[in-house]
Amino acid sequence: MTNFPTTDEIARNVREALDRIGVSAEATTGPVAVHTPITGGQIAGTFANTAEDVDAAIGRADAAFRGWREVPAPVRGALVKRWGELLVEYKQDLAVIVTAEAGKIPSEAAGEVQEMIDIVDLAVGQSRQLYGKTMPSERPGHRLAETWHPLGVVGIITAFNFPVAVYAWNTALALIAGDTVVWKPAEAVRLSAIATDALLARAVEEVGAPADLHQLVLADRHAAAAIVEDDRVRLVSATGSVRMGREIAPTIAARFGRALLELGGNNAAIVAPSADLDLALRGIVFAAAGTAGQRCTTLRRLIVHTSVADELVERIAKAYGTLAIGAPTSEGTLVGPLINRASFDAQQQALRDAVEQGGTVVCGGERVLEDAAADAFYVQPAVVRMPAQSQVMHEETFAPILYVVTYDELADAIALNNEVPQGLSSAIFTQDQAEAERFLSASGSDCGISNVNIGTSGAEIGGAFGGEKETGGGRESGSDSWKIYMRQATNTINYSGELPLAQGVEFI
Ligand code: UN1
């Protein structure tokens, strides 16, 4: 049984962290309540922006873009670098706020801030590497080249579960690309957003960049609709549910805006007969129960070879029995709360559906610590054996439920991996290289992330992050994702003094 902090203690810690970061008490004492999932109590209040405010914010970001796009990219990098230094300095404070608002355990909250620092490093380097290609022209005395230019205002919509990292993935690259940003964070995690934005504001001021190049709007989706609808927002980068993606994608497409969508994940791991089960066990438990099952990369489906299924399931259940569940602020806690009651209700419904579809709950699933925190929702991570990959396994339930099915042939396991509508992350545990390669091949996993001997979650920022099918197709953070934040221009320069037409066309 863990010790529970009082809501007041959490609020005090958050206030102190905000003080150090430089966020005034006024900014966090508005009429819209901010709750902590740790106790369910209210820790602050914020003001809500109206649709008019959002419109004005887009206008300011658009005006700032006119100047920012002229600033040389490496100089833009200097702003991002300073932001990164402040993130290093206030890492602990930001992590405290993330823990309070999202319920993450401290090492995961600090890890999330580390992702911000990492993407900043990458973006600063990238600011000197916005390479365009030069290719031979088919005509004499001509040069043919591609140039990358700033795009415009980027609208960033983020989810509660990674309240700061996903914003940083987008913002660090958008800023070095010469774009300006308007951010709509999830309503549950507004303090994390205010703190992150305050650190960026400080960096902007210190390096003398245009103050309006970042705009934070604390608005619900109705008030923030302009981010999706307004032509001035050239790219909308949105992380959230498939339902949200279905709603916004047609609107953005109708105005020929760009969309970068990071929607649901329903990630699977295959465990082959040759797998190192000790290693697989650790990988599975972190990926399935870590962050209380609230990552888009969380492991939700385990596809285990029949020959090792019983042993592995027993060992997972045993390991689950040792996981410390409770207030993330208590030493040793590994599994914190679900974000709210709706999330708990969805978890309960999924378990009922699983049982109805023939599943057997091996362990977990029940609500715990209700006496200690009546308004918070802690659950025991569940393992459910399913007779087949039925409907409930095709849906993403944002809670720690791990469904297990078995297979005999690798081809069937890969088919199960790919059968669901989502396509974010996937993994195989095997010591058979040919099996691993088949899983990674063109006819293997259809996901944006495919791993070998490592779980589905916890990706590094260096590789592009995102997934296929209902996951939305977007890629953000590392690799060459910077290109989506820029527009490409192809330039043909004629220094021949003649005017030969391409493809040998003859005219005047
Ligand atoms: C998310 O859950 O929205 O790979 C992002 C991971 C993290 C990011 C998850 N680096 O689990």
Domain extents for the chain? 7-263+472-488, 267-460
Distance from Cα 134 to the centre of ligand 1, integer Å:
36
CA-nearest residue for atom 6, ligand 1, is: 458
What the block records as the tokens of 368 is 């715990």
Tell me: ipTM over 0.90. Answer: yes
Which atom, in ligand 1's list, is nearest to the CA of 294? 2
For the chain, list residues with pLDDT below 70: 1-2
Distance from Cα 55 to the centre of ligand 1, integer Å:
30
Each as own residue / partner, the long-range contacts of residues 111-117 (CB below 8 Å, 24 or more positions apart, any chain) are 112/162, 112/163, 112/164, 112/165, 113/87, 113/164, 113/165, 115/162, 115/165, 115/168, 115/169, 115/461, 116/84, 116/87, 116/164, 116/165, 116/168, 116/172, 116/196, 117/84, 117/87, 117/88, 117/91
Which atom, in ligand 1's list, is nearest to the CA of 115? 10
For residues 57-82, one letter each, b for 16 or more C-beta atoms within 10 angstroms of the residue's C-beta and e for the rest, the string is bbbbbbbbbeebbebebeebbbbbbb
Widest pairwise Cα distance in the chain: 87
Q: Which residues form the pocket of ligand 1, taking CB atoms under 6 Å from any ligand atom? A: 115, 161-162, 166, 239, 295-297, 457-459
- The CATH code that applies to domain 7-263+472-488 is 3.40.605.10
Provide the phi-psi class of 452: left if phi over 0, else alpha when psi is between -120 and 50, else beta.
beta
Residues labelled catalytic: 262
Task: Determine the straight-line distance between the first and last CA of the chain, rounded to whole angstroms.
Answer: 87
For residues 319-329, one letter each, b for 16 or more C-beta atoms within 10 angstroms of the residue's C-beta and e for the rest, the string is bbeebebbbbb
DSSP character string of 337-382: --SSHHHHHHHHHHHHHHHHTT-EEEE---EE-TTT-TTS-EE--E
Q: Which of 112, 122, 156, 162 has the most ligand 1 atoms within 8 A of CB, as the residue to mutate?
A: 162
The continuous run of DSSP H or E covering 47 comes out as: none
- CA gap 212, 220 in Å, rounded: 21
Q: Which amino acid is at 72?
A: P
Distance from Cα 395 to the centre of ligand 1, integer Å:
18
Which atom, in ligand 1's list, is nearest to the CA of 297? 11
Under 8 Å between Cβ of 152 and 235: yes
Nearest Cα neighbor of 40 from 336, 382, 240, 351 is 336
Residue 453, classified by CB atoms within 10 Å of its CB into exposed (0-12), middle (13-18) or buried (19+), is middle
Which atom, in ligand 1's list, is nearest to the CA of 457? 11
Distance from Cα 209 to the centre of ligand 1, integer Å:
30
CA-nearest residue for atom 7, ligand 1, is: 458
Q: Which of 122, 164, 297, 454 has the most ligand 1 atoms within 8 A of CB, as the residue to mutate?
A: 297
Distance from Cα 295 to the centre of ligand 1, integer Å:
6
CA-nearest residue for atom 1, ligand 1, is: 296
What the block records as the tokens of 114 is 């580390």
Distance from Cα 502 to the centre of ligand 1, integer Å:
47
Nearest Cα neighbor of 487 from 127, 65, 67, 149 is 149
Under 8 Å between Cβ of 44 and 34: yes
Under 8 Å between Cβ of 436 and 428: yes
Distance from Cα 460 to the centre of ligand 1, integer Å:
9
Which atom, in ligand 1's list, is nearest to the CA of 159? 3
Distance from Cα 458 to the centre of ligand 1, integer Å:
6
pLDDT tens digits, one per residue of 42-98: 999 999 999 999 999 999 999 999 999 999 999 999 999 999 999 999 999 999 999
pLDDT tens digits, one per residue of 380-423: 999 999 999 999 999 999 999 999 999 999 999 999 999 999 99
Q: Which of 108, 170, 465, 471 has the most ligand 1 atoms within 8 A of CB, as the residue to mutate?
A: 465
Q: Which of 291, 294, 296 has the most ligand 1 atoms within 8 A of CB, as the residue to mutate?
A: 296
Class of domain 267-460 as given by CATH: alpha beta
* % of the chain surpassing 90 pLDDT: 99
The continuous run of DSSP H or E covering 490 comes out as: strand 486-494
- CA gap 476, 126 in Å, rounded: 14
Task: Provide CB contacts within 8 A for 226, sequence distance 6+.
Answer: 51, 54, 55, 58, 233
For residues 213-227, one letter each, b for 16 or more C-beta atoms within 10 angstroms of the residue's C-beta and e for the rest, the string is bbbbbbbeeebbbbb
- CA gap 388, 412 in Å, rounded: 12
Which atom, in ligand 1's list, is nearest to the CA of 449? 4
Which atom, in ligand 1's list, is nearest to the CA of 239? 3
| Number of neighbouring beta carbons within 10 Å of residue 173 | 28
The continuous run of DSSP H or E covering 43 comes out as: strand 42-46
Distance from Cα 188 to the centre of ligand 1, integer Å:
18
